[in-house]
């Protein structure tokens, strides 16, 4: 039997695949966040939406719409609509149709949605601390992944 290293097929081994490492790491991070998010009553995609809405609270975009949120999260409105509906049912945000264009749905955090942010900060710090994660290494990796994301997604549009 010929080994992969002798045939030049190392590049096809699972452990040599960037896509697998990204996929597995993403699943592991989401799994690690799950207990924290359960305390907050959020799913991971809802958490990501709330992060953007908290960002917008500090620095509002020209149009805080479902479309703008979808562009920011790289998600389509078919995925976002049920997610936002659940956040609205939880009393964390409000959706309002634009008076100028009824196809446009504007988003705004409620008081409860704003207050939830304060509960996230200590939980997230605890999550990273418990795992002994090197924050400097995380920042470097995050920045590198941002560049990779730009090359694969944002620059292809």
Give pLDDT tens digits for 94-151: 999 988 888 889 999 999 999 999 999 888 888 888 888 888 998 999 999 999 999 9
pTM attached to this predicted model: 0.87
Domain hosting 37: range is 18-156
Instruction: Compute how many other C-beta atoms are within 10 angstroms of the C-beta atom of residue 6.
Output: 9
Of 31, 30, 29, 47, nearest in space to 116 by CA: 47
Total domains, the chain: 1
- What is d(CA 71, CA 65) in angstroms, rounded to the nearest whole number? 10
Instruction: Compute how many other C-beta atoms are within 10 angstroms of the C-beta atom of residue 12.
Output: 10
Residue 10 lies in a domain: no
What confidence score (pLDDT) does residue 20 get?
96
Read off the CATH number of the domain in which 136 is found: 1.10.10.10
Place of tokens 């009553």: 41
């Amino acid at each position: 039997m010929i080994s992969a290293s002798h045939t030049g097929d190392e590049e096809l081994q699972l452990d040599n695949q960037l896509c697998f490492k990204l996929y597995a790491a993403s699943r592991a991070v989401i799994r690690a966040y799950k207990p924290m998010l359960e305390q907050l009553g959020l799913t991971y995609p809802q958490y990501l939406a709330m992060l953007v809405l908290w960002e917008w609270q500090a620095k509002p975009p020209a149009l805080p719409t479902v479309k703008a949120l979808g562009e920011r999260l790289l998600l389509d409105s078919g995925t976002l609509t049920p997610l936002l509906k659940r956040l609205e049912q939880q009393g964390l945000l409000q959706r309002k149709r634009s008076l100028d264009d009824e196809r446009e749905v504007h988003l705004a955090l409620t008081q409860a949605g704003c207050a939830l942010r304060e509960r996230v900060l200590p939980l997230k710090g605890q999550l990273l601390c418990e795992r002994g994660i090197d924050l400097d290494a995380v920042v470097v990796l995050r920045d590198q992944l941002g560049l990779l994301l730009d090359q694969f997604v944002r620059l292809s549009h």
